Structure 1
Amino acid sequence: MIVNSSDGFEDCWEPFFTLLKKNWPDFDYSLILNTEFKNYSFDGLKIVSSKVHEGILDRKLSWSECLIKAIELVDTPLILYVQEDYFIEKPVLKDTIDEFSRLMEGGVIKYIGLTDIGNFGPFKNYEHDKRLVVVGNSKYRISTQAALWDKDTLLSYLRPAENGWMFEIFGTQRAKRRSDLFLTANRLMYSSKNNPIITYMHTGIIKGQWHENIPELFKKENISIDVSLRGIYKPKAFLRRKFETGRKLLNNPLRFIIGMLGK
């Protein structure tokens, strides 16, 4: 498992691993917490802090560069990707994740999404396993939600100049031009409301502030944290969010073109 993070999100680590240990008590995967300079430990879990920025003082690494350096520390062919603000709210279906991992061992399947908040449909039936469906060339073919990834495939889609948001947008365009087999959990069998594989709100931090439901979750789980330091995110109107997305894309037209055309 890679818990993708950075030192600026250190306040998420204690809640994340508290809930991971509670809702996945038999967790036995190798675990890398992607940090820049900091070490972190949590009782009962063997966490390797990546410290990807150590020794690099002349510039700040991008989101993708940090993730690439963390992936290069992985010595297994598969990665379970999550982020530090995916605060797990219910027991994880570990056996299902293990079974899906075994399906990927042959190298044919490159990705399996584990939630219903990642990839978009329409999906096609996967004839070899009714628990899974095929992700087509639709929105968020590339997603940063919880998923199993073939390590080399994930590396092949990352571009050093991109942040996480750009990776999803531009990575999806790159993925549409490739024939990699991407699958995701069948929504008819696994969903946030019915038999979820791994459950967390989408997502714990939005634009640097806590999701509005985080205080209630932390209170219920007896997690003590001062949410006022980040503040609570207030959702914006749909049209305003679309406008801000378009403005971001146009802020750097060259990067936009490279991202859309990059292979």
Structure 2
Amino acid sequence: MNAINYDNISLLIIGYDPYKDVWDYYFELLNKYWPDRPQTFLASNILMPNYENVTVIPCGEDAEWSKKVYTAIDAIPTDYVVLLLEDFFTTRPVNGDNFEDLVRIIEKNNVDFCKLLNQTKIKGKSYDGKPYLHILDENSDYGISLQPAIWKKNFLKDLVGSDNYNAWIFELNQVRNKTHLQSDIVALGDDRNILEITHTVVQSKYLRKSIKVFEKQGYHIDTGTRPVMTFSENLKYDLKCRVSELSPKCLRPILKKIGKLMNVDFVSDRMEKSNK
């Protein structure tokens, strides 16, 4: 295969300054496992750390998730971006040829969005004869979401808008309100975990499973700086994910009430609080 061509796609990591300790591990692993990658950007609040092959874009002390995305997009020259969060670590070598092939399919077919990882199994009809590519069901929860994904830059910019708000509002409000009126969106999901990502931090704590991944690789995470979830906390999180995946929509309000009795944290509750 010819030399890998990343001329029309960039990586954009949306950061939160108090997670600087997480960034240090994130970019060390990204440089280790994907050194020959597209141009990489980090959107921060005011911090400007120096990471190898990373351009930092400070977006303002008051900038929430949406303002960081909107500001960074204007500074990125490519038509497509891989939108990532700082708590999804690259933990194995990335196959650049496979990634380039996927980008070619996306460009050729004018795809607006391609999910690269999902907490639950990606469902939907196969696309372009590829068994690993699926057409996302427009009625599925969090079909278009903030899981790691490739976005057409203009599509993302239109969805985000110029207001300053958090990521929860984007997933639970902004996406649903803007996409349900559009029938021409091409949204896909790739079930290969092509970027070799491990979800690492939830609710400001390391997931127990992610620490085990690092231990097997001989990679050390300082859990004195940021704690690991307790067994009980991790169990509640895993149960919430499984219930969300397997339960029919009609039962979810009841199951959510049960979860609250068990002190399970729900993103929708945090969004409601942020709006008050």
TM-score, normalized by length of structure 1? 0.78
Is the aligned partner of 1:48 residue 2:40? no
Q: Counterpart of 2:55 in 1: which secondary structure? A: strand
Per-residue deviation, residues 15-55 of structure 1 (Å, max 9, x unmatched): 1112112221322x11111111122223xx321110111xx
Which consecutive unaligned segments of at least 5 residues does structure 1 have? 191-195, 257-263
Q: Counterpart of 2:125 in 1: which secondary structure? A: strand
- Shift in CA distance, 243/85, structure 1 to aligned 2, threshold 3 Å: closer
- Shift in CA distance, 245/48, structure 1 to aligned 2, threshold 3 Å: closer
Aligned match of 2:170 in 153, 167, 170?
A: 167
- Give the distance between the partners of 1:108 and 1:14, measured in 2 at CA: 35
- Give the distance between the partners of 1:31 and 1:140, measured in 2 at CA: 26
- Give the distance between the partners of 1:220 and 1:130, measured in 2 at CA: 30
Per-residue deviation, residues 167-214 of structure 1 (Å, max 9, x unmatched): 1222441323222101111x4xx2xxxxx412223x321111222234
Q: Which amino acid aligns with 1:41?
A: N
- Shift in CA distance, 50/118, structure 1 to aligned 2, threshold 3 Å: farther
Q: Which amino acid aligns with 1:198?
A: L
- Give the distance between the partners of 1:97 and 1:118, measured in 2 at CA: 21
1:1-263 counterparts in 2 under 5 A?
A: 1-27=11-37, 29-42=38-51, 45-53=52-60, 60-106=62-108, 108-117=110-119, 120-121=122-123, 123-127=124-128, 129-137=130-138, 138-159=140-161, 160-173=163-176, 174-179=178-183, 180-185=185-190, 187=191, 190=192, 196-201=193-198, 203-233=199-229, 234-235=233-234, 236=236, 238=240, 239-240=259-260, 244-251=266-273
Q: Which amino acid aligns with 1:215?
A: I
- Shift in CA distance, 119/214, structure 1 to aligned 2, threshold 3 Å: closer
Q: Which amino acid aligns with 2:173?
A: F
Q: Which amino acid aligns with 1:6?
A: Y
- Give the distance between the partners of 2:72 and 2:24, measured in 1 at CA: 20
- Give the distance between the partners of 2:266 and 2:106, measured in 1 at CA: 38
Q: CA RMSD in A?
A: 2.6
- Shift in CA distance, 251/229, structure 1 to aligned 2, threshold 3 Å: same
Q: Which amino acid aligns with 1:184?
A: G
- Shift in CA distance, 124/165, structure 1 to aligned 2, threshold 3 Å: same
- Shift in CA distance, 73/135, structure 1 to aligned 2, threshold 3 Å: same
Which consecutive unaligned segments of at least 5 residues does structure 2 have? 1-10, 241-258
Q: Counterpart of 2:22 in 1: which secondary structure? A: helix
- Shift in CA distance, 76/250, structure 1 to aligned 2, threshold 3 Å: closer
- Shift in CA distance, 118/163, structure 1 to aligned 2, threshold 3 Å: farther
Q: Percent identity?
A: 21
Q: Counterpart of 1:72 in 2: which secondary structure? A: helix
| Count of residues in correspondence between the two structures | 236
TM-score, normalized by length of structure 2? 0.75
Q: Counterpart of 2:187 in 1: which secondary structure? A: strand
Which is helix-richer, 1 or 2? 2
- Give the distance between the partners of 2:215 and 2:272, measured in 1 at CA: 41
